[in-house]
Amino acid sequence: MIKKLSLIRRHVPHAPTKGAAVELSWIEFLSTYLPNRYSVDSAFVVDNTGKCSDQIDLVIYDQQYSPFVFFHSGVKYIPAESVYAIFEVKQSLNKQHIEYAADKAESVRALKRTSVPIVHAGGTYPPRPVFDIVAGIITTSSDWTPPFGKPFYEVTGALKPWQRLNIGCTLDSGSFLLQPDGTFESSSNEESLIFFFIKLFTQLQNLGTVPAMDIDLYSQALDSI
């Protein structure tokens, strides 16, 4: 990944094109190594009231119980119920990019999510409570040395609850994970990618399965229903 992103950084001069290429590289990586139940795309997230999030660079979602993914002019719109995790992808870790990723996280977490009973062969499971959506930031490098020192703690400590970043990867400098007690666990720069992937996968496993969306509420947008 470091070599691949370094090539993009050196040989793609146009900033928007470079950003799209980096996003695609991360989407391909996670799509390859995460289990098939997890889909990964760049998308907007929507809810049944018609509200829409900011555009999210990387959304990890599940279509088993929330099957609707809308396409319009080449852009995907994913229902909030199906989202496990969201990430902002930037070139470097710094105050501006952390706050930007935090605002993106808040735009998704503020959406309304529904949950209905799930019918199975032995009966019906009750509606499962909605979980906290994982949010994070992925960068190639850090503007800080060390990457997770005092400036990092000051910026992340000032974030509001819906803005908090649970996990992040700075590919050439290390990765971090927010612990339940508010402290951070971080990796060495040599193990940044494997640390990030293992900790992300553990977070996804701990979430279980997304809630089943109330399709009737989404269908109310149709004139014939």
Which residues are the active-site residues?
A: 57, 88, 90
* Closest to 37 in 3D by CA, of 59, 56, 60: 60
- Beta-bridged to residue 75, according to DSSP, are 72
Question: What is the C-alpha separation between 134 and 167, in angstroms, rounded?
Answer: 8
Per-residue DSSP letters for 21-50? HHHHHHHHHHHHHS-TT-EEEEEEEE-TTS
**CA-CA-CA-CA torsion sign (213, 41, 62, 140):** negative
**Local structure of residue 122 (DSSP, 8 states):** T
**CA-CA-CA-CA torsion sign (169, 174, 180, 182):** negative
